[in-house]
Amino acid sequence: MIRTLAIPGATLIGLASMVGTGVFAAWSPAYALAGSALLISLLIASSIAALNAFSNGRMARIYPQSGGGYVYGKNCLGTNAALIAGFAFVIGKTASASAAALVIGAYLAPDHSRIVAVLAVLIVLAMNLLGLKYSLAAMTVSVSIVIAIIVSLIVFPRSDESLSASAALTPQPTFFTIVAAAGILFVAFAGYARISVIAGEVKRPRVVIPWAIGISLALVLILYFFVARLLLSVPQTLVSTTPLQSLATVSDYPVLLIQVGVVLAAGSALFALNLGIGRMIFAMAKDGPLPSVLAMVVGPRTVPVPAEILTGVVVLVVTIFGGIGLNLAISGIFVLCYYAVVQVSSMTQGGSLIVRWVIPTVGLIVMTFVIGSLAFSALGKGLG
């Protein structure tokens, strides 16, 4: 593959992957679990993301090639760990990509959301088949517009009546539901993984990938904090499947702008997610676990067409049968399993006590609690 991405392009892929499904849809299923403790869940999610980002960036410097955790697991832990990471990534990100498509449908046409979601998947598949370079310019514009819309929504003046709270709408959280909510919100931070997965297309990956991960994660955390505070001030918006649209309605903010933001943000996230899934399938096919035909590249842009087509078909199927909340919970479980392999792989490398042992160990302990809480609390409540 051709190495074309520098820090700005790689950072944009991370931003486009995070400022999408999460900021427009993750709040409602997370609030159903955490209630007024939503900010605590956000803090836990961001802490997990930071721990994983550190280890992920460290491993990307050591193994700067496409495949991310799959490559780290194979080189550090063996074939079985690589397969766990690879398939966990594909399953988790497929569920997340489907959620992104369903978010577009929910905001634009709630009565025909699946039809709109299917169309979104097909459009993104066509974009991916054209090659990465053709979409970076559009991604740059999209992310800039989306961030501007969200910031304007945050600072938009509101009357006291629109900010009135309703205690009856507030769920009563427990320790486990707060942790489970963190798992759902973590999906909104997990976009930086796509940066390392497409390392084969990044210039000077040992330098670019850590910087891109750190910058994109910090920017998204700041944005999410202010959005969460605003939504909590109007809790009735958090019982809607389209919380930001509900917030715009009660605030007399132009709903059309929110819909534009959804199309751009969730569409960009869907593009980046499908790109990462396709590259992971490509890496696994090139290495042996998947059929070699999926490692075939086509055209001057060396696009892995068979892998991209398979990705599009699978995402399409999950979109037809899945749901936003359930897909986000499933994504959280499998993405955290993927990062568990990254953390254990980091333990096999040299380095100081903190870098090699403390950070990965703390990350693994927290992720284990989150995975268990998600499995029993989120899936048990039927967030789909």
DSSP-derived secondary structure for 254-272: -HHHHHHHHHHHHHHHHHH
User: Residue type for 321, please?
Assistant: F
Half-sphere exposure for 164 (CA within 13 Å, toward CB): 6
pLDDT above 50 for 384: no
Whether residue 163 is contained in a domain is answered as no
pLDDT of residue 340: 96
Q: How do residues 322-365 score in pLDDT, each as one tens digit?
A: 899 889 999 999 999 999 999 999 999 988 999 999 999 999 99
pLDDT above 60 for 1: no
Q: What is the dihedral of CA 185, 188, 190, 195, to 10 degrees?
A: -170
Whether residue 37 is contained in a domain is answered as yes
Per the structure, the complete domain to which residue 356 belongs is given by 7-154+179-381
pLDDT above 70 for 169: no
260-278 mean pLDDT: 86
Classify residue 350 as exposed, middle or buried by CB count within 10 Å of its CB (0-12, 13-18, 19+): exposed
pLDDT of residue 198: 66
Structure tokens that stand for 332 in this block: 């959280």
Whether residue 164 is contained in a domain is answered as no
The most confident of 121-130, 144-153, 284-293, by mean pLDDT = 144-153
Whether residue 101 is contained in a domain is answered as yes
Whether residue 346 is contained in a domain is answered as yes
pLDDT of residue 196: 66
DSSP 303: B
Which residue did the predictor score with more confidence, 62 or 117? Answer: 117
pLDDT of residue 168: 46
Whether residue 251 is contained in a domain is answered as yes
Separation of alpha carbons 89 and 86, rounded Å:
5
What's the chain's average pLDDT?
87
Tokens 């997340």 belong to which residue?
96
Identify the CATH number of the domain in which residue 112 sits: 1.20.1740.10
User: Residue type for 337, please?
Assistant: C
Q: How do residues 247-256 score in pLDDT, each as one tens digit?
A: 999 899 999 9
pLDDT above 90 for 119: yes
361-370 mean pLDDT: 95
Whether residue 166 is contained in a domain is answered as no
Confidence at 194, pLDDT banded by 50, 70, 90: low
Q: How do residues 28-40 score in pLDDT, each as one tens digit?
A: 999 999 999 999 9
Tokens 């966990």 belong to which residue?
88
Whether residue 162 is contained in a domain is answered as no
Q: How many domains does the chain have?
A: 1
Structure tokens that stand for 325 in this block: 């909340």
